[in-house]
Structures are given as structure tokens and as C-alpha cells.
Chains A and B, each alone.
Chain A
Amino acid sequence: MGSRANLFGALAFLALAVAAPALPPWLVSLATIAFANALVVLGLIILWRAGLVPFGQALFYAIGAYAVALLGRYTGLRDVFVMIAVGAITAGAVAFLIGFLLARYREIFFAMLSLAMSMILYGVLVKTETLGSTDGFHVETPTFLSYAPHGTALGLALFWLVLGICALAALTISAYFRSVAGVLAVPVRDNEIRVEFLGISATRLIHLKLVLSAVLAGIGGALAGFAVAHVDPQMAYWTTSGGFVFVTILAGAGSVAAAFVGSLVFEIVRSIAVDILPGTWQIILGAALLLTILFLPEGLGSVFARLRTRAEAGKP
């Protein structure tokens, strides 16, 4: 399963990368945002496997985005790799610090405390003039190891960068899911005390997962910041977090691929729905979420798994 899925994933990424120059620029930029957000969703999947739903993941998303925006504004640094690394490290460091508080909580309290944390950042961003206040500010055009594209070339370069980072993240995280710490997620969700009887600290495991997911969200936020070329406090608002949770539930936590497919489908459906039915977009969202929870509690990804089992059961 593992190596075949990897091969399939790699082929899909390669196909997208090759096809990109032939696609219309709006589609490329849509896919760039979708894959940047998919990294955040991937982080949520890590936590969701352990039964945790953070309603404030936008905290780390916004930290990543603001980190690259601030670097562009106050320093001469323009290299995209260095800037993203700074965003990821900042998000991870913040997660490490607040993790001491957050990792003690489960279920609703975890969800809502993380929400409160993101609202603190939102409050700070809105009130601070030097951070752009409610309007946010512009993100400088980055360079790629001294290659400095503009216009369509910049969009393509960003898309390829996002694809590369996503492929790397997908590989790393699926390896993590197979590791001891990754496999222990399900026991933590099902019965934490038994995990502790194995001599493993559930709180530490969750702390680690939190930092991992924050790093992913930081990278996603940094990439989204480059893609939109603008950051604003809305990125830290709880409705942004709600959107990520939404995609996670819809896609299901069954596999790494679910994050990417789910996020892409979500962005495409959204851009169509907002055009056709502008007033009822949230009704569609809510209804889809409700129906998913009621009828497909494992997410849309489980449909394929079910079909596969059925096909295998049908074989002689």
C-alpha cells in the first residue's frame, strides 16, 4: 500500500507540475492557494487522528503569513526559502510554548482554547498600527535563489514551489503516520489511560503533534501570503480556522492524499458557488458539512476505501 500510494502521489504531482504552464493563470493561482491550505489541513489531520479538533489553527497560519510579510517589510531578505523557514520556525516555536497549556486539554476544551489563542492574535493584529491594523499590508515579491520572476512566471514559480513543498510534506507526514508516535494517535483518541500504562505520555505526544501541525500551518500561511501578496487579520479569525476544520471533516483523516484532494475540490467548488449563488454559499457549506457528518462520518475519502473493500470482497 505504502509504496504504491507514494508512486501514485508522485505521478499526480509531476503531472500537475508539467501541466501548469498550459493552464490558465487563474487556475494556477487557485491551485496554489488550495495546496498551501492543504498543508494546514494536513496538520489538522495529524491532530484529528488523535481525536483533537483545533478551532484556532488560523493562529499558526497567520503567524506564517505575517512572518514573511514582516520580513519583506523591515529587512532586505527576499529569498523565498529562508522566509518560509522563518515562518515555519516561528509558528512551531509559538506552538511549542502554548503547547504546555494546550496539550493538557482534550475534546471541546482543546478546540475552544486554541480558538481563544487565535483570537488573542487577531485582537493584537487589529489593534497594532505597525502590523497594518485591519487593512493588513502588502507582501514583497520574493526571489527564488536569486531568480526573480514577475507576472505569470512568478505565479508558475510559486506553484512549483508549493507542489514541491507539498510533496515533501506528504512524504514526511505519511512516514510519521507509520512511526510509533504516529500510530499511537488512535490509541490516544480511544483510551488515553491505556497509552499511559504503556509508559508513554499522551500529553507529550499531543504536544509533538501540535508543534508538527503548527509548522505545517506556518508553511501554508507563508505560501498563501506569497500567493495573495497581501496579509490581513482575517487570516487569524476563527472563521478561517473553521474553514480548515471544514475541509478536514469533509476529506476525512484516512490518508495524506485526502488533504490535497479535499482542499483542491473545496477551492474549486467555492469559486464556482460564490459566482453562481453568492447569497447562499454558507448554506451549501453548512448542509454539506451536516450531511457528511450524518452519512459519511469518515469523510469523502472513505467512499473510495469502501468501494475498494467491496471490489476485493467480490473477487473469488
Chain B
Amino acid sequence: MLTAFAILTDGLVYAAYLFLVAVGLTLIFGVMKILNVTHGSFYAFGAYGAATAVGIYAQLGLPDAAGFLLMIVLATAIGLVLGLVLERGVLRLVYGKDEVVIVLVTYAVFLILEDVITLIWGPRSYGAYQPMIAAGNIDVGDLTLSNYDIGLVSIAAVLAAFGYWALKYTRYGRLLTVVIFDRETAAAFGINVTVVYTVTFIIGAMLGTLGGAVMAPKISISLGIGVEVIVLAFAVVAIGGMGSIGGALIGALIVGLCRAGAVHFVPQIELFVIYAVMALVLAFRPYGLITQTQPRKI
């Protein structure tokens, strides 16, 4: 019973992490049909930005809540700038090329940004654990849970709910749904698709940096953290169905729980259980769990 509860909580925390990193990726793919490898860099920038923010607030001796707020604000600001520069400066030039070619473009940008991170923050690793310690622990039965983890799950849940609401009930969300459904028809009805693309990419980038920022206290921030994230996020998105936020949520939950189960019972397979689940799902549902039926175009 205790193990089951531990697996459930571990799985939920990991699922929250996966959802936070996957949601920006799936949003950009859904709207723009771009698989954004740069998303890994967004995550890394967010984490490094958070480390800098934590450094600043430790120096100034601000209250803990302000430090956490500063972390979030700085990370999303970085995401805003990065997203704007990338979309306007690079991606605009390659719209209309093959999807695979655009993946390579984002891969090229990813390579560049990896070194930019080294140039800005240097090769040493950072810690930003203060907010996590400040949040403290809570005992639930025999288990000790970190309040920060509970906060993480809440953030992910709020984000999922907000995403659902924004897409369904706001004006911008409805425009987005139209563009996702058919870009050309949307443009013909007078929707400014160029602006929708820019805004979507910026939001996706901000979600990426936000994911990095809230995860920063839980990890050691070092070179190469972006590399792992992009592959993980892709696996989650592929399981759920690319471009679907609900799919990202389901994918994150499945992968999170499977991994937590693996960690408790067969720790050796922890690293590849995610990809095994992905291969298994795709063998039966070739385009993920939540997909729209696509007509064959001749």
C-alpha cells in the first residue's frame, strides 16, 4: 500500500515535470507544424536564468516568496526575448520548407544556443535549491513529501486547466484552434496568421523557460541539461499525439507513472522505460493517443 502511494506521488511529480516541458513543444507543433528542437535550449536558459535569479535574491536577502517570483519573472522574460528573436530572425526565413528541414534549422539554432549558454554562464554547474529548502516538507502518513513538489504538481495542473480554458473560451484561443485546423482557410477568413505564429512561438518559448525555471531547484544545472529534455519531451508528446495539449497531459501521466513504477521495482530499466512505452503506444496508435483523422492528400 505504501509502495503504491509512493509510486503514485513520485509518478505525479515526474508527470508534472514532463507536462511542463512538453506543453510548449506540443503547442508550437500543433499550431506551426514545427518540431522545435530549440525547446531544449529554452529549458536550459530558464534553468540558468533561475540560478542567476536565486543568486541575486540570496545576495539582497529578499523574502523567499519574492525570490521565487523573481525566478519566474526572469525566466519568462528570457523566453520572451529568445522566442521573439528566433521566430522573427530565423524561422520566418524557412516557413514553407519541408518539416524535416525546419527540424534541422531548429537543431542548428540549438547547437548555437548550447555554446551561448557556456559563453554566458561558463562551464561550471549551478545549484538553485534555496526555494525548495525554504518550502519545507510535509508528512503524509509514513511518507515525507516536499512542499515544493506539491507546488510543482499544482502549477502543472493549473497550467493544464488554464490551457484548456484559454483554447476553448478566449478569443485568441479560438483563433488558434482555427489556425491549427487549417492554416490557409484561416488566412482566407482574415486571420493574421503571421501574428498568430509569432505569438504562439513566444508563448511556447516562455513555457519552455518556465519549465526550466521551476525545475531548477530540483536539479543540478549544468551543461547538456537541454539535450535530455528535448528527447524526453518529444517522447511524451508523441505518446499523447503531437499538437494536443490534452495529449501532452495524458502522455506525461502515463510516462510519469510507468517510470515511477520502474524506479521502485526494476531500477535498471528506468532510463529506457519511457522510450519502450513510446514504442509500444506507437505500435498500436501510430500517431499517438489523441489525434485527428487526416485525409490522404494526393
Q: Give A residues with C-beta under 8 Å from B.
A: 51-53, 55, 101, 104-105, 107-109, 111-113, 115-117, 119-120, 122-124, 126-128, 191, 193-194, 238-239, 242, 245, 249, 279-283, 285-287, 289-290, 293-294, 297
Contacts and interface: CB of A to CB of B under 8 A. Distances in A.
18 contacts: A101-B279, A101-B283, A108-B100, A108-B242, A115-B234, A119-B272, A120-B272, A124-B272, A128-B268, A238-B227, A245-B107, A249-B104, A286-B107, A287-B112, A289-B108, A290-B105, A293-B94, A297-B97
Contact of B109 (A53, A238, A286): A286
Contacts of A124: 272
A4 to B, nearest CB: 32
Nearest to B34: A108
Interface residues of B, number: 45
Q: Which secondary structure dominates chain B's binding surface?
A: helix
A191 B278 CA distance: 28
A123 B271 contact: yes
Instruction: Please list the 9 inter-chain residue pairs (A to B) with the smallest Cβ-Cβ separation, ordered nearest first.
Output: A123-B272, A286-B111, A123-B271, A286-B112, A289-B108, A290-B108, A282-B115, A286-B108, A283-B115
Contacts of B268: 127-128
B66 interface: no
Interface of B: 35, 90, 93-94, 97-101, 103-105, 107-116, 118-119, 227, 231, 234-235, 238, 242, 268-272, 275-276, 278-279, 282-283, 286-287, 296, 298
B236 to A, nearest CB: 11
B100 A116 contact: no
B283 A109 contact: no
Contacts of A122: 271-272
Given A101-B282, A112-B238, A293-B94, A123 B275 contact: yes
B220 to A, nearest CB: 17
A289 B111 contact: yes
A117 B272 CA distance: 9
A109 B100 contact: no
A127 B287 CA distance: 29
Q: Which of A52, A124, A194 has the most CB of B within 10 A?
A: A124
B229 to A, nearest CB: 12
A300 B207 CA distance: 37
Contacts of A113: 238, 279, 282
A239 B227 contact: yes
Contact of B108 (A115, A117, A194, A293): A293
Given A53-B104, A101-B283, A109-B287, A282 B111 contact: yes
Contacts of A123: 269, 271-272, 275
A119 B268 CA distance: 15
A92 B238 CA distance: 26
B104 A245 contact: yes
Contact of A108 (B35, B112, B278, B286): B35
Contacts of A101: 279, 282-283
A51 B279 contact: no
A116 B279 contact: yes
B276 A120 contact: yes
Contact of A294 (B94, B100, B109, B275): B94
B111 A115 contact: no
A245 to B, nearest CB: 7
Given A109-B287, A290-B108, A115 B231 contact: yes
Nearest to A52: B100
Given A104-B286, A108-B100, A109-B287, A294 B93 contact: yes
Given A285-B111, A286-B109, A120 B35 contact: no
Contacts of A283: 111-112, 115-116
Nearest to A289: B108
A280 B94 contact: no
A52 B94 CA distance: 18
A34 B153 CA distance: 48
A290 B115 contact: no
Contacts of B108: 285-287, 289-290, 293
A87 B99 CA distance: 33
A194 B107 CA distance: 32
Given A115-B234, A289-B108, 19 more contacts: A53-B100, A101-B279, A108-B242, A109-B238, A113-B279, A116-B231, A116-B238, A116-B275, A116-B279, A120-B276, A122-B271, A122-B272, A239-B227, A242-B107, A245-B104, A280-B119, A289-B104, A290-B108, A297-B97
Contacts of A116: 231, 234-235, 238, 275, 278-279
Q: Which of B93, B110, B279, B287 has the most CB of A within 10 A?
A: B279
A292 B108 CA distance: 10
B103 A119 contact: no
A283 B109 CA distance: 9
A127 to B, nearest CB: 5
Nearest to B111: A286
A279 B235 contact: no
B275 A117 contact: yes
Contacts of B279: 101, 113, 116-117, 120
A286 B110 contact: yes
Contacts of B35: 108, 111-112
Nearest to B235: A116
A164 to B, nearest CB: 33
A51 B100 contact: yes
Contacts of A289: 104, 107-108, 111
Contacts of A239: 227
Nearest to B117: A282
A297 B101 contact: yes
